[in-house]
Amino acid sequence: LLRIRLRPYSGPATTHGGKPRRLHRCNFCDYKTYRSDLMKRHVRIHTGERPHKCHLCPQSFTQSYHLTKHLFTHKGERPYQCLKCSQRLAQKTQLRRHLHRYECK
């Protein structure tokens, strides 16, 4: 049996040090977060800013993680492999698309 206890509201959220956490609100929509890094990333949806640029082609990305994944395509690395037909792909999304398209499930 799972028991869940709800605590009564005790005022604004605080950090581990007891300081009140600041709620960041998007100027473009209703999005809110206590994390400034998430707000920065979210605002890029509205502004179109893509600060992470590939040095090998014109592609740019909103998150560094997406640039890192993209670089696999230039390096020729293909870490994702279809277990049915053995085709190797550079990104997990490419593998998912391959599995769906060719019914390699």
Domain ranges of the chain: 22-49, 54-102
CB 26 within 8 Å of CB 32: yes
For residue 104, what are its two tokens? 């390699």
At 15 the pLDDT is: 64
- Per DSSP, helices labelled H in 1-105 are 36-47, 64-75, 92-102
Q: Which residue has the higher pLDDT, 2 or 95?
A: 95
Task: Encode pLDDT of 43-61 as tens digits.
Answer: 999 999 999 999 999 999 9
Handedness of CA 78, 82, 83, 87 (dihedral sign): negative
The CA distance from 86 to 64, in Å, is: 29
In a 3-state reduction of DSSP, which class is residue 57? coil
Share of residues in the chain with pLDDT > 90 (%): 57
Domain 54-102 indexed as CATH 1.20.1440.230: no
Res. 103 pLDDT band, cuts 50 70 90: confident
